Amino acid sequence: MTMGAILETKSLNKFFRDPVEFQALKNINISVERGEFVSIIGSSGSGKSTLLYILSTLDTDYAGSLFLESDDLSKKTKNELASIRNEMIGFVFQFHYLLPEFTVLENVMLPALKLGKKHEEEIESDAMQKLELLDMKSQALKKANKLSGGQQQRAAIARALINDPKIVFGDEPTGNLDSKNSQNVLEIFKELKKNLLQTILVVTHDMNFANNTDRIIRLHDGEVVQH
């Protein structure tokens, strides 16, 4: 891996074979530095979501190599990858996927409870700290379905941070939000990068968002044309 890179691909290729063979990603060689805030852009069908799912270990059917902290993930079993996801990766999606019948606090605690490395009291304390960081502490005991769209996405970001991940992946995290809340999410990510040195990689079609990140990786027909 290159110096300072936390995430790197080497000669990454992805084929879909049903109904006909189609190469979705062609020889992708990219790296993301520790503490960098990067966006992946490209028109619909360019392969950006496909790439994100491979980078975040959700899709393991590819050729080539994927490294996270110098560890070659292409050689890992499904169970090993599940552990790596729980421990080292945070996710923020277009839809927040909060459990509506749970409180905000319970939703944020869930990934840490699943990881099982800390006592529940400690996890609750961590979750409250993350909510405070996102100006959501006052909403902690509300049911998730009682929040506004912008608040739900903040809660989802707090949940993504609960296990102190090495990298946070976003899949169109502002895709469901109005411009004011989109700007809020952008500012939150910038603060996380600045204050926590958090590495963030986001797929977006929002050019205003992309232009405010440290660097843009642009895909066209499955190839990197800018990075």
**Domain segments of the chain as ranges:** 35-61+78-226
* pLDDT (average), residues 76-99: 86
Please check whether residue 91 is in contact with residue 168, taking contact to mean a CB–CB distance below 8 angstroms.
yes
**pLDDT(1) > 50:** no
- DSSP-derived letter for residue 99 is -
Phi and psi at residue 33, in whole multiples of 5°? Answer: -80, 155
* ∠ Cα 189 191 197 (to 5°): 90
Name the residue with higher pLDDT: 48 or 3: 48
Cis (ω within 30 of 0) for the bond into 165? no
Statement: residue 155 has pLDDT above 60: yes
pLDDT of residue 105: 93
pLDDT of residue 3: 55
The torsion angle over the Cα atoms of residues 70, 72, 77 and 78, rounded to 10 degrees, is: 70
* Percent of the chain surpassing pLDDT 90: 40
pLDDT of residue 223: 86
Residue 29 has pLDDT above 80, yes or no: yes
Question: Measuring CA to CA, which residue among 105, 133, 151 is closest to residue 189?
Answer: 133
Split at pLDDT 50, 70, 90, the class of 104 is very high
The domain defined by 35-61+78-226 carries CATH number 3.40.50.300: yes
